[in-house]
């Protein structure tokens, strides 16, 4: 009880921006040490989306291969463990701990992105397309800073992706690491909105190229196929 009281007292005095500023140099150095990364005259900004558990690693690998690893990949989930109270949140909230590191992860994504833009690096930001606002904001920011913008979506049968989120959490817990449990409602909301939101962002005319991948192959390419096939392709894969 005394230990919990101590944690709660520390949380009361927690300063998010101070924590971000303290951890940023360490995280940025990790990115900057990529020997393949170099400033570009015509940089590319990629938004990677899809429901949790869809298997975004395959698409990320394809993009890195295409750009010879000359791209900075930003995944907010990787920043959660840098939160000053990362372990404390799991002690207090268990499976709901990820809710309490969301603000830190999101703020760090923005700070890393801004520095990468300043350096003129190719950038990939991983998200979900759960809402329209976030991808549209990121696309507009890329365009404003002279980036050519692309969207890459990863999807798979919805029950498979849901089972994958559970399996991933179990594997982390078994390895003695803090698992990240995705709420079912979050997963299902992305599934329900994914195709529609992707089409709307692409129709903004700010995106130069759109690709959709399953876990092992490309399903759609805007350079080859008409946009009216996009929603059916995504929904067919989700319902497969």
Catalytically annotated residues: 77
- Which residue in 185, 187, 191 sits closest to 164, CA to CA? 187
d(CA 179, CA 166): 9
Output the CA–CA distances (angstroms, integers) from residue 106 to 1, 56, 157, 158, 209, in the order listed: 31, 19, 27, 25, 25
Among left, alpha and beta (phi > 0; psi -120 to 50; other), residue 53 is: left
**Listing from the earlier edge strand, what are the strands of the sheet with 44-49?**
72-74, 123-126, 44-49, 148-154, 209-213, 218-221
Among candidate residues 202, 71, 47, 66, the one with its CA nearest the CA of residue 128: 47
């Amino acid at each position: 009880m005394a230990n919990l009281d101590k944690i709660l007292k520390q949380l009361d005095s927690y300063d998010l921006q101070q924590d971000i500023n303290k951890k940023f140099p360490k995280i940025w150095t990790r990115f900057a040490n990529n020997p393949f990364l170099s400033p570009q005259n015509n940089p590319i900004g990629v938004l990677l989306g899809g429901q949790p558990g869809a298997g975004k690693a395959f698409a990320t690998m394809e993009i890195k291969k295409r750009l010879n690893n000359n791209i900075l990949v930003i995944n907010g989930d990787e920043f959660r463990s840098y939160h000053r109270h990362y372990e404390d949140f799991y002690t207090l909230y268990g499976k709901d701990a990820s809710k309490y590191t969301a603000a830190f992860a999101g703020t760090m994504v923005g700070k890393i992105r801004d520095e990468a833009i300043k350096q003129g690096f190719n950038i990939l930001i991983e998200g979900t397309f759960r809402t329209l606002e976030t991808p549209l904001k990121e696309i507009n920011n890329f365009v404003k800073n002279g980036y050519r913008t692309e969207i890459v979506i990863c999807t798979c049968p919805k029950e498979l992706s849901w089972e994958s989120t559970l399996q991933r959490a179990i594997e982390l817990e078994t390895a003695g690491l803090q698992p990240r449990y995705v709420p079912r409602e979050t997963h299902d909301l992305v599934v329900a909105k994914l195709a529609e939101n992707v089409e709307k962002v692409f129709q903004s005319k700010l995106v130069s190229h759109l690709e959709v991948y399953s876990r092992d192959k490309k399903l759609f390419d805007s350079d080859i196929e008409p946009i009216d096939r996009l929603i059916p392709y995504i929904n067919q894969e989700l319902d497969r």
